[in-house]
Structure 1
Amino acid sequence: MIHVITSRNRHLYEGELTQHFRVRYDIYVRDRQWLALDRPVPLEIDQFDTLDAIYLLSIDKGKLLGGSRLIPSMQPHLLSEVFPYLAPRGVPRRADVFEWTRIFVAKDQRGANGAAGTAKAAGGRALGEVLCGIFEFALDEGISAISAVGEMWWTPRFLEMGWKVEPLGLPTQIEGEWCNAFLFKVDDEVLANTRKCFGIEGSVLTRRGLRQPVVHHLDT
């Protein structure tokens, strides 16, 4: 199941969150060599891991299989603070737009095809559950779109999964990798397409503790 962790219930997940930051360190610092994120303690925590961050973690019998992070676009986030030049027409910033970052799948849950394979082959069911969890959560919470910065090799995977994607600019090389900013529409069709791609039926989300809306719409 995909556990939803917010500022209201993170005290119930202290061990899982620490494990998640440790796995992120292994993936992004040790494996991918994002050395700007290196710290004396082997936990990958950046400036956007605030109380506004929402974590969607795949946990099975205490084992972390994968996860991702959502940040409200009205708050400082990766696209607005680090890569605004990837969206020359303007960074989407609305209450119902969140940014998606730091997706990962534990090494023993991945397929063998890496970036060259399909989404299903490369990430397996663990990836599918995390992605379905993102859209299921977004639909539950009134989020209409999700922004992201990603490598261009993700593009055929987005199409394979039936996502509705809008590039926010032209591809740009970042540390030797062609990247772009994207905006993804959130609707029932996209969730259904993602479930079909990975062979997932029904809800993958579970929630513990207090719950509050993450999108606050102003009355008009």
Structure 2
Amino acid sequence: MFKIITPENRSEHRGLIDAMHEMRYRIVVGEWCWHIPGIEEGYDKDQFDTDATVYVLVLSEAGEVMASSRLNPTTRPHMLSELFADYCDLQPYPIGPDVWECSRFVTDRSLMPDPVEDFRTRCRLGLGLTVWCLDHGVSRLSWLTHQKFYNLVQRVWTTEPLGLPRREGDDWAWIPAVSQIDKATLDRQLDRYRDAETIVADYLAPKLRASA
């Protein structure tokens, strides 16, 4: 369902890691038009891809990287502490051994033309994050995410904002947030995975009616 790459097993998965960085570049630079200082062309690896980073991947049957996300300990420098601390204008970003930061939640939708498969892939990625956290005593994940994804996250994780939405010259309003991770979170994710067809049909119904 998902693959977790840790500092301990990273040497066994060099090819997958390279494929993940290449996929991330295609999406975040090629599709989302992000400007990320200091990265190689065709390869999204920045200062927050470190020797402590944990990666969660979802692979296709052919072994292609369809989706990925990364986890970093907040006890080390991370995106909120180093780049976006001023976004946290409601409450300080949390730090502690039980708090990790999630970033680069990326899916390659070109590999998933079926919207149900797209939804299930994102579910698998979220399940991987939650399972790793539960297995390692992580009770909270901090994020910087755009407002649309924040609204989706709230359906699965108990989430509160660390700051007000902030728009930085583009169409995305960014929100720093922190989410609780517990067994109930896992149960909700499993339910959504099982009900993928119904959830996607309900989501698409207004669009289909509008285009009819």
Q: TM-score range by the shorter chain?
A: 0.7 to 0.9
1:203 aligned partner: none
Return the alpha-carbon distance in structure 1 between the equivalents of residues 122 and 38 of structure 2: 25
Task: Tell me, yes or no, if structure 1 residue 174 matches structure 2 residue 168.
Answer: yes
Q: Which runs of 5+ in 2 are unaligned?
A: 196-212
Q: Is the 8 A contact 1:79 1:91 kept in 2?
A: yes
Match of 1:148 among 140, 143, 148: 143
- CA RMSD, aligned part only? 2.0
How far does residue 7 in structure 1 lie from its aligned partner after superposition?
1.4
Matches within 5 A, 1:23-172: 23-37=23-37, 39-59=39-59, 60-88=61-89, 89-110=91-112, 123-161=118-156, 163-172=157-166
Query: Is 1:194 aligned to 2:189, yes or no?
Result: yes
SS at match of 2:154: helix
- Equivalent residue number for residue 209 of structure 2: none
Contact 2:98 2:137 in 1 (8 A): yes
- The structure with the greater share of residues assigned to helix is 2
Q: Which segments of 5 or more consecutive residues in structure 1 lack a partner in the other structure? A: 113-119, 201-220
Q: TM-score, with normalisation over the residues of structure 2?
A: 0.84
Relative contact order higher in (CA < 8 Å, ≥ 6 apart): 1
Q: Helix, strand or coil for the counterpart of 2:66?
A: strand
Q: TM-score, normalised by structure 1?
A: 0.81
* 8 Å CA contact 2:70, 2:104 repeated in 1: yes
CA contact (8 A) 1:109 1:126 kept: no
C-alpha spacing 1:93/1:189, structure 2 compared with 1 (3 Å): same
Aligned to 2:180: 185
